[in-house]
Amino acid sequence: MIDDAALRPTEIVPELVRGALDLDRGRFGIRPHRLPSWARARADQQLLAAQSHPSGVRLVFRTAATRLELDAHRTTLAFAGVPPRPAGVYDLLVDGSLVDQQVSSGGTAVVTDLATGATEVREGPAATIAFEGLPAADKHVELWLPHHETIELVALRADAPLEPVGAGTRPVWLHHGSSISQGSNAASPTTTWPALAAAAGGVELVNLGFSGSMMLDPFVARVMRDRPADLLSVKIGINLANADAMRMRAFVPAVHGFLDTLRDGHPRTPLLVITPLLCPIHEDTPGPGAADLADGAVRFRATGDPADVAAGRLSLRTIRQELTRLVTERAADDPHLHLLDGLALYGEADAAEHPLPDRLHPDAATHRLVGERFARAVFGPGGPFSSR
């Protein structure tokens, strides 16, 4: 029988948290944010929700503890009449190896009726996530938080002291992208494609992948400009197409402006621009995208007219063409600027074997495929982020 009285409370201080750009106190506990407060003041509700999901955020410490407990309160988003997405997962790594996983529970559920727009809030308690049987020796521990739920950290306990770990010498990789980068449909926080690539590349990940919200926002560029980083990447395209957010006339200068801002703070840092992965519904058909709720599952479709591409509406094919042209021209004066074709990560041949389950987002196996390919192309010998 476990003696809970032997567990010692540990204050959740900023030095324990990696991958978050800000912490504040919510209703229940400490809430990690992936954007600072000044940037959140400029964000819409979609981005506010996405940045509150702690993709890539983890607690990092050294300890000899054999038992850890985290009390956490989650907030989940769901749609009425549609099966909820799988519960979030906590991944526990010891000395770099995954040793345990626990699912989240309890908390608050926000349920939206897509037909009427009405929202119901169902309140619930915090849950305790426990890890037992850990090796008693001193060890490096990382507790990765769920990547698609808002989490408030209420209390942390262990049967031995927890000591923060310094930043170390691993390069910091700062990445910005869409829900695919955030990890939509990945199995767990350490198996999103950026987390897999970061582990393979031996770098510290700061993930600014925001569901539905890679919109070339100037304030996000300023956040990245001011954030210390050794490696930078931006994956551009799918959200701009499926939101029908701008036309080609605005898109090209917006990309230039975003890259110019990054270069203001990181003039010689390796900077990688990634074009869109294959998404058949938007290859030649512009947005806006729409949810299709047939058969009780959420799938997506493109509602635009392909004929409008000639007048400047964005498709993924034209986005790739313009990004390739733009980056190639800029790279003539910027030897640290690089381009990666998203079709090399997930292309037409892959769609037959790994179709997008909801027509928009990759599944868990495809996250692994993309992460492995990215690591080889970018961190491998001769890659833009390679030290070899």
- 301-324 confidence digits (pLDDT tens): 999 999 999 999 999 999 999 999
Per-residue pLDDT at 1: 40
| Integer Cα distance of 184 and 40 in angstroms | 21
pTM (two decimals): 0.95
pLDDT band at 131 (very low <50, low <70, confident <90, very high): very high
Average pLDDT, the chain: 95
Per-residue pLDDT at 342: 98
SS3 at position 316: helix
| Beta carbons within 8 Å of 189's beta carbon, 6+ residues apart | 55, 56, 58, 89, 90, 91, 144, 145, 146, 147, 183, 195
Kind and range of the H or E element at 259?
helix 248-265
Per-residue pLDDT at 5: 59
- Can you tell me the mean pLDDT for 23-28? 95
pLDDT at 4 over 80: no
Per-residue pLDDT at 388: 58
Per-residue pLDDT at 32: 98
Query: pLDDT tens across 183-228, in order?
Result: 999 999 999 999 999 999 999 999 999 999 999 999 999 999 999 9
Query: pLDDT tens across 255-285, in order?
Result: 999 999 999 999 999 999 999 999 999 999 9
| Integer Cα distance of 287 and 313 in angstroms | 8
Per-residue pLDDT at 3: 57
**Phi and psi at residue 182, to the nearest 5°:** -65, -35
Per-residue pLDDT at 84: 80
Per-residue pLDDT at 292: 83
Per-residue pLDDT at 70: 98
DSSP label of 382: T
Q: pLDDT above 70 covers what percent of the chain?
A: 98
pLDDT at 81 over 80: no
Q: 355: which 2 tokens?
A: 């179709």
Domain edges within the chain: 4-164, 172-379
CATH of 4-164, one of 2.60.120.260, 1.10.3720.10, 3.50.50.60, 3.40.50.11540: 2.60.120.260
Fold of 172-379: Rossmann fold (3.40.50)
- Can you tell me the mean pLDDT for 164-179? 94
- Can you tell me the mean pLDDT for 358-366? 96
